[in-house]
Amino acid sequence: MPKISTTAYLDQRPGTSGLRKKVAEFKQPHYLENFVQCILDAAGDVAGKTLVLGGDGRYLNAHAVQVILRICAGNGVGRVIVGRGGLLSTPAASHLIRVNQAHGGIILSASHNPGGPDADFGIKYNTANGGPAPESVTEDIYARSQRIDAYHCVETDDIDLDTLATSHLDRMVIEVVDPVDAYADLLKTLFDFDLIRSKLADGSLSVVFDAMNAITGPYATRLLVDELGAPKDAVLRGTPLPDFGGAHPDPNLVHAADMVARMTAADAPVLGAASDGDGDRNLIHGAGLYVTPSDSLAVIAANATLIKGYSAGIAGVARSMPTSRAVDRVAKALGLPAFETPTGWKFFSNLLDDGRITVCGEESFGTGSNHVREKDGLWAVMCWLNLLAVRGDSVRDILIDHWQTYGRDYYTRHDFEALDSDAANRLMQELESKVDTLVGSTWSGHRVLHADNFAYTDPVDGSESARQGIRVSFEGDARIVYRLSGTGTAGATLRVYIERAESHPERLLLDPQQVLADLIAVAGDLADIRGFTGRERADVIT
């Protein structure tokens, strides 16, 4: 196979969701090619095998798909299934890997990060189960990136990816597929489309969805408008754009402001929702009421048997460590196994593959089930539409009923973004150094009961993950968690999670920021956030 000499780049260590860098870095000579070759080498024998390829359509996506096809051909890959135009949402790519029994897949995305020539790009490898590569594979990719001196590549003109067709590149088959078809067919097996359609038609159910100029636009249009009959204007910002229209494709209350404004108006639809750059995250909003991702996960778990595809019950639940413990309370009441994992969907994938859980989620707007091995934004939206159609209640009514049954975990996340990396690391190191001395100490009247740096032993494969975030628990069923995010490309992001449980029936509808104000102050003092970072308050609060 054609062999091209190269020089290793030493900064290609994948994070929790692959390699994310600025576009300018990916455009360096051989930078992308090196990393793709290392992926293929770490993936094992790819000769004659099938791979899935696609991305969220952000700037550089189209070019990167062409490069990857040439390198796949140069490495003897047998077939590549690629979404038309090089597009695939992350959950749709996961499904295509699974349904085609592919060897794996290469997904191009920086998820909820901004896009454009001066913004972010990303690439990750998913294995045969459809889920993100485990640490053993990503570490192998990184190790190879440190010593690579050549890659294999077939020279050719760009391939036509806009036509649904099968073609050849050297001896490799390229199959261009509609990016939505297989995914839409999957969701039809999980949800009662007939019931939802009838409720939308009679006006008892209504929806608005913000696709944020990102990949879910075509998916939401097919599902909500074409299949379920919602009006065309139910999908906001539905055309994927390379720079997401200059917007930030992160489904939170700040960046989905237009949808949130609709949901706080007097004539608000029953359900508001949004998804992110690659379609794996979600925001759920009722009329005048935001649903935290933690509560959304708990509500879905508690009501799963009302949903067509889960009517026989669920095997168990899992949440990432920083996610609120709301779903734990559901699991305890229903007698279900519950798992607490580090942040990163790959940890859920092991539990899903082993049949230990059915539903799982992260506080960072990610929810999913065993239908794929990625979090899935539109799946979560469909869960809520199905529950609303079956129960005939409002989002507010469903939440109040849930809190009255299981109690409420008041919860908030405070993000301090683009911090000086050294300062952020010093903050975390100082916190870790005093973990053992915190128990028994009191902070503004709050006594510490437990403190640690979370470590996880995978119950399926025995792998260990240490130093996953500082946990501090207090009397009164409250806790604070500190983590440095692994998804950014500029500086460091400190995430601080504050939570307190409440079961008193007259204290279930209060403002979380007010309820948690004392603990928010403690969180700042305990870590000396102002002293280390100079920041008075968080950049984003959800």
* DSSP for 66-89, written as a single string: HHHHHHHHHTTB-EEEEEEEEE--
Alpha carbon distance 487, 137 (integer Å): 18
Alpha carbon distance 276, 250 (integer Å): 5
What mean pLDDT is reported for the chain?
A: 96
The reply to whether 182-406 shares the fold of 3-179 is yes
Cα distances (Å, whole numbers) of residue 476 to 292, 377, 445, 470: 21, 33, 11, 19
Instruction: State the pLDDT confidence band at 540, using cuts at 50, 70 and 90.
Output: confident
Give 451's strand partners.
472
- Strand-strand pairing, 207-210 and 408-419: unpaired
What pLDDT sits at residue 440? Answer: 97
What pLDDT sits at residue 2? Answer: 80
List, for residues 54-71, the tens digit of each pLDDT value. Answer: 999 999 999 999 999 999
CATH code of the region 3-179: 3.40.120.10
Does residue 50 surpass a pLDDT of 80?
A: yes
Centre a 10 Å sphere on the Cβ of residue 182 and count the other Cβ atoms it contains. 16
Cα distances (Å, whole numbers) of residue 485 to 305, 338, 488: 34, 24, 7
Instruction: State the pLDDT confidence band at 434, using cuts at 50, 70 and 90.
Output: very high
- Of 134 and 318, the structure prediction assigns the larger pLDDT to 318
Average pLDDT (371-397) is: 98
From 237, 245, 254, select the one nearest 59 (Cα to Cα).
Answer: 245
Average pLDDT (211-224) is: 98
Average pLDDT (466-476) is: 96
Average pLDDT (410-424) is: 94
H helices of 434-479, in order, are 435-438
List, for residues 484-501, the tens digit of each pLDDT value. Answer: 985 555 689 999 999 999
List, for residues 74-87, the tens digit of each pLDDT value. Answer: 999 999 999 999 99
Q: Is the pTM of this model over 0.85?
A: yes
List, for residues 131-178, the tens digit of each pLDDT value. Answer: 999 989 999 999 999 999 999 999 999 999 999 999 999 999 999 999
Segment holding 175, helix H or strand E: strand 172-177
Alpha carbon distance 236, 208 (integer Å): 7
Cα distances (Å, whole numbers) of residue 179 to 54, 84, 184, 493: 9, 6, 9, 33
Does residue 125 surpass a pLDDT of 70?
A: yes
For residue 334 the two structure tokens come to 């229903």
- Strand-strand pairing, 235-236 and 207-210: parallel
Q: Give the SS3 label for residue 502.
A: strand
What pLDDT sits at residue 490? Answer: 63
What pLDDT sits at residue 487? Answer: 54
What pLDDT sits at residue 491? Answer: 80
From 154, 121, 152, select the one nearest 6 (Cα to Cα).
Answer: 152
Does residue 254 surpass a pLDDT of 90?
A: no
CA Rg, the chain, in Å?
A: 23
Kindly state the percentage of the chain with pLDDT values over 70: 99
Catalytic residue among 17, 89, 109, 111: 111
Alpha carbon distance 54, 177 (integer Å): 10
Average pLDDT (298-315) is: 98
Alpha carbon distance 235, 393 (integer Å): 23
CATH code of the region 408-541: 3.30.310.50
Report the CATH fold assignment for 182-406: Alpha-D-Glucose-1,6-Bisphosphate; Chain A, domain 3 (3.40.120)
Our separate counts of H helices and E strands in the chain read: 19, 27
Q: Is 17 an annotated catalytic residue?
A: no
Domain ranges of the chain: 3-179, 182-406, 408-541
Instruction: State the pLDDT confidence band at 412, using cuts at 50, 70 and 90.
Output: very high
